[in-house]
C-alpha cells in the first residue's frame, strides 16, 4: 500500500468546469458538497483506503525561524498557502492508478447548482524513503 495526498485548491490549479467560488454557493449547495465528501470518506474507510482528510479555514500564517532568542517571523512576500489549499485527503491505496481513480471520483463533488465541480485535484505520493544523495 502507498499513501497519497489529494489536495483541493482554492486557486492555483486549472479552473474547474463548474467554476463558481464556494462563497457564492447557497447553504444547501455547501451542505450537499460536504455530505458528498463525508460519504466518499466513509466509503474509503470501509475499504481501508481512508487515512484522514480535512477542510482548511481561509485564515493562516506563514511562520519561520529567525535566529536564537528572536521571535518567529510571520507572513512574507510570497503567495500565501492559505489562499491556495482548500483541504486535503490522505489515502492509502495499492497503486498510483487507484489514487488517480479516487481523485477523479472526488473531483465530481457537487458545487453550484448541484452540478459536479470537476475540479482539478493534485495527487502527491508520500515520500517512502529519504532521497539518496550521490556524490
State how far the alpha carbon of 12 is from the alpha carbons of 8, 16, 37, 106, in Å: 10, 11, 21, 18
What CATH number is given to the structural domain containing 26? 3.30.70.1060
Is 130 part of a structural domain of the chain? no
Q: Provide the residue-wise pLDDT of the chain in tens; the chain has 135 residues.
A: 999 999 988 766 778 888 888 889 999 999 999 999 999 999 999 999 999 999 887 777 778 888 899 888 776 545 544 457 889 999 999 999 999 999 999 999 999 999 999 988 999 999 988 888 887
Could you tell me the residue range of the domain that residue 28 belongs to?
2-125
Domain count within the chain: 1
Phi, psi for residue 50 in degrees, rounded to 5: -90, 130
Nearest to 58 by CA among 82, 24, 34, 84: 82
Is 132 part of a structural domain of the chain? no
Is 134 part of a structural domain of the chain? no
∠40-46-50 over CA atoms, to 5°?
Answer: 60
For 16-113, list the strands marked E by DSSP: 50-55, 63-64, 73-74, 85-93
Q: What is the pTM of this model?
A: 0.81
Amino acid at each position: 500500500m502507498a499513501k497519497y495526498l489529494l489536495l483541493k485548491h482554492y486557486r492555483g490549479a486549472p479552473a474547474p468546469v463548474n467554476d463558481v467560488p464556494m462563497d457564492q454557493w447557497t447553504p444547501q449547495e455547501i451542505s450537499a458538497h460536504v455530505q458528498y465528501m463525508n460519504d466518499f470518506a466513509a466509503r474509503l474507510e470501509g475499504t481501508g483506503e481512508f487515512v484522514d482528510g480535512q477542510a482548511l479555514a481561509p485564515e493562516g500564517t506563514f511562520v519561520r525561524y529567525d535566529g536564537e532568542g528572536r521571535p518567529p517571523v510571520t507572513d512574507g512576500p510570497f503567495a500565501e498557502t492559505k489562499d491556495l489549499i482548500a483541504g486535503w485527503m490522505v489515502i492509502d491505496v495499492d497503486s498510483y492508478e487507484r489514487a488517480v481513480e479516487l481523485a477523479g471520483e472526488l473531483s465530481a463533488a457537487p458545487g453550484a447548482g448541484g452540478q459536479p465541480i470537476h475540479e482539478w485535484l493534485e495527487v502527491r505520493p508520500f515520500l517512502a524513503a529519504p532521497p539518496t544523495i550521490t556524490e
